[in-house]
């Protein structure tokens, strides 16, 4: 019997209506949404259920909203008796993973990611930084291209190593544009500019990281009772000091998602459950290992199907 990993989506997976069906059917879900509204001092739940989408997509709203929706789905899986052997999350999703692993309280996490969103928005003036997805190029040649461009005075770096043939770069607007053009000239299939509000997971996020450090100093982090695979090192983290350190580094370091999935596969994970809105991570995991069993839990219907399938194979 293989091990189970719960994986949690990052920013970009938010949709109006997420979590609403569970809110309507579960007292535990209602309690989670109430706790988020109370902690943040505004009706996050109303924004999640009714929109508008453009307001929900703002980094400061999207981050606590995704964490809340993911935690609601996690609690529903837990109540159904499905427990993970490992957790991991893509960027913001790492906070959901830490809550699921017992390291961070939900209240502290939802407050922290709201602040994280603010700091990320404010770190770089609008229009001065961006990101692009580079398709069909390996990390070594792309790393060399970004190094050359950065040495030329326009900082850019690898930001998300998502799966074979899909890497996101991030940095100054000129740097990303220049690196994208060089990548295409050197064999990349496509370079797709991303509609993002800043150069996330690049060195330009260091001002946000220092502000996040101050918030994390006030937050209680305890030992994780389930191993969390860190974005920064693609290895398990357990201890409070290391967890805080990696959350700070994560803001300006690449998300090693492909490496993280391979790490989980190497320790016996055969079933991945994407816990939260969308199926972005499910698609990436399928490209990393076609033999992995992958489920996605984003509403009541997909929850019931997943529980039935996982119980059926892990009896």
The residues carrying an active-site annotation are 91, 201
With CA atoms as reference, report the closest residue to 10 among 56, 65, 51.
65
Q: 218: which residues sit within 8 A by CB, 6+ positions away?
A: none
With CA atoms as reference, report the closest residue to 277 among 257, 294, 299, 300.
299
Q: 307: which residues sit within 8 A by CB, 6+ positions away?
A: 77, 80, 81, 82
56 in Cβ contact with 14 (< 8 Å): yes
210 in Cβ contact with 200 (< 8 Å): no
Q: How many other C-beta atoms are found inside a 10 Å radius of the C-beta of residue 165?
A: 14
């Amino acid at each position: 019997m293989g091990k189970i990993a719960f994986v949690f989506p990052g920013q970009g997976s938010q949709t109006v209506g997420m979590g609403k069906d569970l809110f309507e059917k579960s007292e535990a879900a209602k309690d989670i949404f109430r706790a988020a509204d109370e902690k943040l001092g505004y009706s996050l739940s109303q924004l999640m259920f009714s929109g508008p989408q453009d307001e929900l997509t703002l980094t400061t709203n999207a981050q606590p909203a995704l964490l809340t929706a993911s935690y609601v789905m996690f609690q529903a899986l837990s109540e159904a008796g499905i427990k993970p052997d490992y957790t991991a999350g893509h960027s913001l999703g790492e906070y959901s993973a830490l809550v699921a692993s017992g390291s961070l309280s939900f209240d502290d996490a939802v407050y922290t990611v709201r602040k994280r969103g603010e700091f990320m928005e404010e770190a770089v003036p609008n229009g001065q930084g961006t990101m692009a997805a580079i398709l069909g190029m390996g990390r070594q040649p792309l790393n060399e291209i970004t190094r050359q461009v950065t040495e030329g005075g326009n900082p850019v770096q690898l930001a998300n190593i998502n799966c074979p043939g899909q890497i996101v770069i991030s940095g100054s607007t000129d740097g990303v544009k220049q690196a994208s053009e060089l990548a295409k000239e050197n064999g990349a299939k496509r370079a797709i500019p991303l509609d993002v509000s800043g150069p996330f997971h690049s060195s330009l996020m260091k001002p946000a990281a220092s502000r996040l450090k101050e918030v994390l100093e006030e937050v209680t982090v305890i030992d994780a009772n389930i191993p969390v695979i860190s974005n920064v090192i693609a290895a398990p983290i357990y201890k409070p000091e290391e967890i805080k350190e990696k959350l700070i580094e994560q803001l300006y370091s690449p998300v090693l998602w492909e490496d993280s999935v391979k790490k989980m596969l190497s320790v016996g994970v055969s079933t991945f459950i994407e816990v939260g809105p969308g199926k972005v991570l499910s698609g990436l995991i399928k490209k990393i290992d076609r033999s992995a069993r992958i489920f996605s839990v984003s509403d009541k219907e997909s929850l019931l199907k997943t529980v039935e399938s996982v119980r059926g194979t892990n009896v």
